[in-house]
Amino acid sequence: VQENRATSLDELATVVMSRLAPQSGYLDDVALLLYRQPAPLHLALGNVDDLAASRTELRSWLDRVGVGPEQALDVLIATGEALANAIEHGHRETPAEVSLLAIALADTLQLTVVDAGSWKEPDAEPSISRGRGLALMRALMHDVTIDTRTTGTTVHMHTRIG
């Protein structure tokens, strides 16, 4: 299966069936069920006007992954918070370089938002607003980790699906 990542599902089924077949052929009817999650979604954003388009892309990808509309909205909002933060604070002067990577595994969604700047230190802006965005992300997703380095900030989010 691993060798045939680029093979279409129909063809893959044929390959698997013929390789598994005993020399004397199958003794009874055999059914093979194959399912493949959509390829990861990768998006690049430069400014706040890209947010709406990113939601459209992510919404349609989540639909292909089979995430229901209610959970999809949770994912959209949590991801939107991370993207907005990254755009707002990643780069103040130059256009931001923010990327979103969404990966669907069998039972988990992994979302990663990377920017090339650093989020404002919590102490630098003790505003409720920032806390509210982060609290929202944590409430809507199963797990949120924020990794801040001098080169940029990475937000990882996981949520269970299926």
Partner 1 sequence: MATPLHLSTERRDDGTTVLRAVGELDLSNTATLADALTAALSRRADGTPLLVDMARVGYLDSGAINVLYDHADSIELIVNPVLLGVLKISGLTEVATVTAAAPD
Candidates 9, 34, 39, 139; binder of partner 1 (CB under 8 A) is 139
List, in sequence order, every beta strand (DSSP E) within the chain.
41-45, 98-104, 108-115, 143-149, 152-160
Candidates 53, 68, 94, 147; binder of partner 1 (CB under 8 A) is 53
Nearer to partner 1, 67 or 76 (CB): 76
What is the residue whose two structure tokens read 């194959």? 34
The nearest distance, CB 54 to partner 1, in angstroms, is 9
The answer to the question of residue 146 lying near partner 1 (CB under 8 A) is no
Identify the CA nearest to 108 among candidates 48, 160, 30.
Answer: 160
The answer to the question of residue 115 lying near partner 1 (CB under 8 A) is no
Candidates 105, 135, 148, 162; binder of partner 1 (CB under 8 A) is 135
Nearer to partner 1, 12 or 85 (CB): 85
DSSP for 56-124 reads HHHHHHHHHHT--HHHHHHHHHHHHHHHHHHHHHH-SSSPP-EEEEEEE-SSEEEEEEEESS-PPPTTT
Cα separation of 96 and 94, whole Å? 6
Candidates 13, 15, 37, 50; binder of partner 1 (CB under 8 A) is 50
Q: Which residues bind partner 1 (CB under 8 A)?
A: 48-53, 55-56, 69-70, 73-74, 76-77, 80-81, 84, 87-88, 128-129, 132-133, 135-136, 139-140
